[in-house]
Amino acid sequence: MKRILALSAAALFAVTAGLALSTSAGAAECPSGEFCVWQDSNFGGQRANWSGDDGWWESWISDTDSSWANHGISGPGIKDHVKVYESAWQGGDMTICLAPGQEVGYNGAANDRGDSHIWSTGC
Amino acid sequence: MLRSTPRARRALVTAAASLLISGCTVVGPDGAGQPGVPADRAAQDRLLKAAEHRLVVDCLADQGLTLTARARAPDEDRTLQAALFGAGPRELSVTLATGATVTAHEDGCLAAARARLYGDARRWFRAQVTVGNLRAEAQARMRDDPAHQEALARWTRCATPTDRPRPAGPDPTVAARCAQESGLDDVRARLEAVELLVVRTLHRDQLTAYRQLRDRALLRAAELPAPTPPQKGHDPS
């Protein structure tokens, strides 16, 4: 059911999500224009990346997120900030808001809590 | 994370309310009224983003790179990432009260554009990250409140099925109904407003820095010379 809803969310929000395995312990390897989430701290382990919103992350990354990077590209009127939420459909608490170029290698309070995110013009 | 006793919290709320009533607002007047700076907040945001975008595009062009939306090969995109977001050690770092350490590079075209607009890149980074996460900090504080914990427990009981295993996540319709019935929506709205006042008081120095640097950036954005139109045809020389 969750898979079906996640796919619906992808269609609704025009999500373009990707999956990659990163072994980087240094620079965050996140494609330009995308928001990336890793299962491990310091941008390690499996990575999910999106250029759009996702109201309900896939089960493998949902509540297993440990590091985050916003490689969005700014421009007039462009939604380039990312807000991460602890519940699906941008519900519950917002755990972090990142401007383009900002990264978080680990956050004890937000670790393994993310369920959804949305791009916005600001925090 | 910063914690406070109920008495200290009441004192903070009172202080925050006094600041607001006295007109000493946390995010005060902006650069409106200055030549070329629009009065409307949304128009100011557009001006800042347009200026930043232009500075970034010029910086990348100096390195033979462009910001087009086309797909890139991984190696090509890594080159763009390094030029745009910076590489190597992350020189900028702020640890929020929520526990998150937000970092960024001090090199790269994006950082250079912000340094030119805001003047003091490190001070702007600290202020922007702090102000941008005030709501996250307020919501984190809210979770510690007994009224919120009790309402959340009522919500959990409401949203948990009695006739089958608990799903990974509740149906959105059930979640919304339970948030109403448990009083969670009301408690969150009430507590979040209070905690926002508290965190704005705790971080009023960063809010002031944010306003000052934003005003400066608005002036600089308005003063940027018009972009040079692309050359057409051959240079006659």
Chain B interface, best mutation among A83, A90, A97, A115, by max B CB count within 10 A: A97
Q: How high is the pLDDT of residue B150?
A: 95
pLDDT digits (tens, 9 = 90+) for B150-195: 999 998 899 888 887 766 667 778 888 999 999 999 999 999 999 9
Asked whether the predicted pLDDT for residue A46 surpasses 70, the reply is yes
Give the integer Cα–Cα distance in Å for B138 and B127.
16
Helices (H), chain B: 6-21, 41-62, 74-85, 109-118, 121-132, 134-142, 146-159, 172-181, 184-202, 204-223
The residue of chain B with its CA nearest to that of A107 is B100
Give the integer Cα–Cα distance in Å for B177 and B10.
32
Q: Are B36 and B215 in contact (CB under 8 A)?
A: no
pLDDT digits (tens, 9 = 90+) for B117-139: 999 999 999 999 999 999 999 99
Helices B41-62 and B109-118 sit at what angle, rounded to 10 degrees?
130
Q: How high is the pLDDT of residue B2?
A: 45
Residues whose CB is less than 8 angstroms from the CB of residue B3 and which lie 6 or more positions away in sequence, other chains included = B144
Tell me the percentage of chain A whose pLDDT exceeds 90: 52
Q: How high is the pLDDT of residue A111?
A: 81
Q: How high is the pLDDT of residue A93?
A: 86
Domain residues for the domain of A20 are 2-120
pTM above 0.90, yes or no: no
Residues of A within 8 A of B56 (CB-CB) are: 74
pLDDT digits (tens, 9 = 90+) for B32-78: 667 789 999 999 999 999 999 999 999 999 999 998 877 889 899 99
ipTM associated with this complex: 0.79
Residues of A within 8 A of B144 (CB-CB) are: none
Average pLDDT for B87-110? 93
**Token duo for residue B63:** 């390195």
Q: Which whole-number Å values give the CA distances from B117 to A73, A85, B150, in the listed order?
A: 17, 31, 47
When CB atoms are compared, the residue of B45, B98, B167 closest to A122 is B45
Asked whether the predicted pLDDT for residue B17 surpasses 70, the reply is no
Q: How high is the pLDDT of residue A48?
A: 96
H/E stretch holding B195 reads helix B184-202
Say which amino acid occupies A87: S
The residue of chain A with its CA nearest to that of B102 is A104
pLDDT digits (tens, 9 = 90+) for A94-119: 999 999 999 999 887 778 888 899 99
CATH number at residue A42: 2.60.20.10
Residues of A within 8 A of B110 (CB-CB) are: 74, 100-101
| A54 secondary structure, DSSP code | B
Give the integer Cα–Cα distance in Å for B233 and B91.
44
